[in-house]
Amino acid sequence: MIAPARVAIALIAIAATGSMAAADDAETAADRAFRAAETAVTNGSAAAALDQFEAIGAARPITRWTDDAWLEAARLAERGRDYDRARRDLEAVIAVTTDDQLARRAKNALVRIAAAAGAEGQWSAVAAEHDRLATAILSPSGDPKPAIVELERLVRDHPDYPRAGNARLVIARGWERDGDADDAIATLRAAASAGEAIDRRRAGLELVRVLVRHGELDEATTALARVDHVDPHDRAEVADQLETARHREWWRRALWLGLAVLGAAAAIRLRRATGSWRATGRALLRPPIELAFFVPIAVVIVIVAATGNPMVARAVRTIAIAGAVVAWISGVALEARRQRGSLSRIGAAGHAACAALAVAAAVWLAIDRDHMLDLVEMTWRDGPAMR
């Protein structure tokens, strides 16, 4: 009787050892597959990585990588705007995980996806198209107008879409980026009077910001007063922006006045150097040698800028034109004074300083015109953004 018992115990031990070895093999295989999928993501093969993560999640026996694989798959599916697939992967996480924190993350992600695509996924296709168009509109390069028109049509065709308020904000930003402040303001006015209360508040605050950026300060003050139930911090932030805009308006007027004074002084000095207004006109018809150096470089910079952000391109174009005008007038005036023999070192230094002041004022006004001063200030403070 003892021998059969020993045989049974030995068989059980062998089976247990085999099961443990198989489990270890499964863990090792899952570990390798998970690392390979992560490498695929790093290499830009998100679609292949998504399939790999789902395969790890579906494989049996369950390993310590199973729930993590489903969660990574859901993240990639959501990033790829495949909300139905992301929802299925998140439900798989909840079904297999024993980690409470991981389960909470999956449930929170389901709530986020439901807000974007509907509780039953009824808005999945619309949400995916919305996100695609928003990415194109907010991209720092390219023409946003085609995507703006498409997103407007999407919102118009689906009036019950739960993220319509967010879409209207993106549309307004796109119009402003394209240089059409009137359409941006009209879009935000409509959004501030339609939809959910939270969307109306967000649109109302954004309307104030856009009005501030475009110099409609009195209207911005009125619009801010109309926005109710706003977080005090948000209201204070917008009020500070309004106050800053009033200071900048003062500087803008002072700089325009300064340019006018410098221009008048340059005209008078050129008239004295040439002897008559007719001679002054003839002198200005001959481009100075400075332009031969400045214009080719400026043209290249303007062309390069035109391939990027439209706001930056407009500012660069304005600065280039202003620089060419200052160089032209400055060069003609210097040559006229040189020919007359009235150009001293002190006079040349003062002339250069006035030209530098004119260029600096033109640069400030060009950047301010497209309301990029905050962007410049942020870049100066935090450094250029790396993509």
Whether 192 shows a pLDDT value over 80: the answer reads: yes
Q: Give the model confidence (pLDDT) of 10-34 as tens digits.
A: 555 444 444 444 456 778 898 999 9
Mean pLDDT, residues 36-41: 92
Question: Same fold for the domain at 2-117 and the one at 124-230?
Answer: yes
Topology classification of domain 124-230: 1.25.40
CA 341, 347, 352, 356: dihedral to nearest 10 degrees?
-140
Tokens 């879009």 label which residue?
A: 187
Instruction: Delimit the domains of the chain by residue range.
Output: 2-117, 124-230, 255-382
pLDDT at residue 185, as a whole number: 94
Q: Tell me: the pLDDT tens digits for 258-309? A: 999 988 988 888 888 888 888 888 888 888 888 888 888 989 998 988 887 7
Residue 387, pLDDT score: 43
Q: Does residue 102 register a pLDDT over 60?
A: yes
pLDDT for residue 67: 92
The Cα–Cα gap between 331 and 45 comes to 57
Q: How far apart are CA 83 and CA 78, in angstroms?
A: 6
Cβ–Cβ < 8 Å for 115, 87? no
CA 95 to chain centroid? 38
Q: Which CATH number fits domain 2-117: 1.25.40.10, 3.40.50.300, 1.10.274.50, 3.20.20.70?
A: 1.25.40.10
Determine the pLDDT at residue 21. Answer: 47
Q: What is the arithmetic mean of pLDDT over 323-331? A: 88
Longest dimension (CA), the chain: 133
Write the CB contacts of 74 (distance below 8 Å, at least 6 apart in sequence).
86, 87, 89, 90, 93, 106, 109
